[in-house]
Structure formats: structure tokens, C-alpha cells
Structure 1
Amino acid sequence: MNTQSAIHAKPTIINGLDVDAAVATIASIKADKSLGRFQFRARNTWIDGGVNRSVIRDFYGAGKEDTSRDTAFEFTNGEPPILLGNNEGANPVEFLLHALAGCVTTTLVLHAMARGIAIRELSTELAGDLDVQGLLGLDDSISPGYEQISIRMHVKADCSDEALDDLLAYAQRHSPVCNTVCRPVPVVIERAST
């Protein structure tokens, strides 16, 4: 390929992702492992009752602070009336399902691209079972968190059923949110000094 054709070559895109950019990113992280360290942040303010709002804008990644987002993302947490709210927004455990769905989906699409598998259709249904007796402190033997989360992924891809099953299992193991939910992760809550 001469220089002129290289300049005009279209990037290889699989599942909406630029394969060449992915290869370059992976090569950069292999060459300098510190580029793989990220810190994501959220700031939350209580509004009233069960309503609070999270703002997400900046993060640290690839060796530097990233402030490239022109506008912050804002998410309102609320509760349904049965849990003393007015449906001001999804509640935090529903946002957890949203985060889990998004992360498993993105991980699946990313690793499908890496394997050269084109995804034709992808949708996901999640359900989480929770007993609020744990949240309310009515029974200490009941965990306040989800007892189980089920994820049903509807996938049509240009690969065999065996390759798709392998890809689904790989996505489950490598999704950061799924991995965080599936293993104990230290969470430190401390009072900020005023």
C-alpha cells in the first residue's frame, strides 16, 4: 500500500468500533501498563426525601486527567411511591441493573470486535430479586442487597452457537461492573472534614 492509499484508507469498523484504534490502544497499554489505570468519579447531592442527584464529568485515565466532556452527565435517583418516593427517577438498585446491562453489553461488543465477530442484534433483559426487609433493618438475616440478578441476552451474531456461548462467558468474566458485583469489593464510607 502506498502512502496516498494509506491516507485515504477507511478504518476497519466492526460493531461500530474502530479495529485499528483498538489495536493501537492495546499496544500502548502493553508498552506502558500505567496507562491502564483509570479512576472514575461521581458527585452526589441529596435533594429531599429519597431524591438525590449524581453528576459525572471528569475522570483519570491513560495517564492523565480527562476533562474533555463539555457537559456533565446528571442522574436523578428517586423511589416509587410504594418506597416513599414520587418516581423522580430510577432508584439506585435499578441504576445498578442499568450499569450492569451497559457494561456487559459493551464488553461483549468489544470482545466480539476483537474476535472479528459481527453482532447483528443485541438486547438484554435484567431482573434483580431483593427483599426490602434487609434495607429496613427488619430482619438481620436478610441481606439488604440483591439476592440474585439474572441477565438474558438476545444476540444474533455472525458466528457459531459455541463461539457465541464462549463470547458470552468471556464478557461475563471481563465486564468491570459484572466483576465488581460478583466479588467482594472494599467500599470505604467516611465523613468528609468540613
Structure 2
Amino acid sequence: MTQAANTLNGVDRDALNGTLEAVQKDPQLAQVSFTLGSNWKGGCRQSAVTGATRQAGNTIDSRTARYAFESDEPAALLGSDTAASPAEYVLHALAGCYAVTFATHAASRGIELSSLRLDMEVDFDLQGFLGLDEDTRAGAQEIRVTVHAESPNTPREGLQELTDLVQRHSPIRDTLAHEVRVATNLA
């Protein structure tokens, strides 16, 4: 895999170091907020569009693009199967965050990734969602991730250390693995 002068795994290492230095000098820059607006489309369908991204309380003006999402449920789960399910988006969010965390932390350590594939599964017990068993959690029971990573310059032990590091530093994994306050208000 050919890389630009100081790019590794598609990560600009100079920009990464600049970000690390900037956050060390001004820790408020580490505070980032993402926004999204969602509209119900009937049944189990909804559409959403990304909104502003803020860093240290200020809107990041350079990010003007907006991205659309559609979700639905499979027919067997009362949907019309027109889009990915919210559970699949959870897996996608975790996969995306893992990819970012793998690429960034590998680049900062000089590890060249020649491939990275994630096989993911999430289990739910619908008794919680349906209100049939108040002792059954409505959320996921377990998420399993199998990492397939290869590197021309790092042995399996080094890739295992990187995988362990990714688990500790992935923001989405941390969000899923630990309780997060979710404030829901009727406007």
C-alpha cells in the first residue's frame, strides 16, 4: 500500500500530531458535539439528517455537508424492510468508530494496516422492548466483534495490543459499554 510522505493508514500524521498538541494546550478543544434531526415516516420508518458539529462550544463552519439516514425494521419485526434497522446502525456506528480508532492509533504507533475487517453481531431480547418482562433489558444483551487485521510490519501480538487499545479508546464502544445519561424532553 503506497502512502504519502507522512500519511499512514490514510491518516495524516502531521495533522494528528497537530491535533494532539492543540488539545494538550487547550483541553476545551476536546469537547465535541454532534447533532441530528429525525422525522418519523410512519410505522417503523424514520429519516434523519445530520446537523451542526460543535467543538469547544463553537460550530465548526468548515463542515457544511449534511448526511441523510433512513431506518426501518425487517418485516418480521413489524417494519416494511425499506432500510437498515436502528440496531444495524448501532453496529455501523461501532464499526466506523473502531475503524477510525484503529487507523489513528496504528498510525501514531507506526503500524501499517494492510487490511481491517470487522464481523459484528448484536443480540436483543424483545420481551424488554414489548414490555412483556420488566426484568428484561430493552437494550442490547451483547455485542460481539471479531477483528480481522493484517499488517506487514507488526506481528499478531502487536495487533492484539492495538485491538486492546482500540477497545479502551473507542468513543462509541465506551458509549455502548458504560451507562450514559440520555435526557429526553417533550417540546
CA distance in 1, matches of 2:14, 2:57: 21
Shift of 1:123: 0.6
1:27-80 deviation line (CA, Å, top 9, x unaligned): 111111111111111111111111111110321025620243443101011011
Cα gap change, 1:82 to 1:49, in 2 (>3 Å): same
* Number of aligned positions between the proteins: 183
1:117 is paired with a residue whose SS is coil
Question: Is 1:134 aligned with 2:128?
Answer: yes
CA distance in 2, matches of 1:62, 1:188: 21
CA distance in 2, matches of 1:180, 1:77: 21
CA distance in 1, matches of 2:171, 2:163: 14
2:138 is paired with a residue whose SS is coil
CA distance in 2, matches of 1:189, 1:132: 22
CA distance in 2, matches of 1:160, 1:84: 47
CA contact 1:57–1:69 (8 Å) conserved in 2: no
What CA RMSD, in Å, does the superposition of the two structures yield over aligned residues? Answer: 1.3
Segments of structure 2 that go 5 or more residues without pairing to the other structure are none
Segments of structure 1 that go 5 or more residues without pairing to the other structure are 1-9
1:126-163 deviation line (CA, Å, top 9, x unaligned): 00111111100111121111111000011001212221
Tell me the equivalent position of 2:178. Answer: 183
- Scaled by the length of structure 1, the TM-score of the pair is 0.90
Percent identical:
34
1:86 is paired with a residue whose SS is coil
Q: Which has the larger radius of gyration?
A: 1
The one of 88, 100, 108 aligned to 1:106: 100
Tell me the equivalent position of 1:7. Answer: none
- Scaled by the length of structure 2, the TM-score of the pair is 0.93
Which amino acid is the alignment partner of residue 49 of structure 2? V
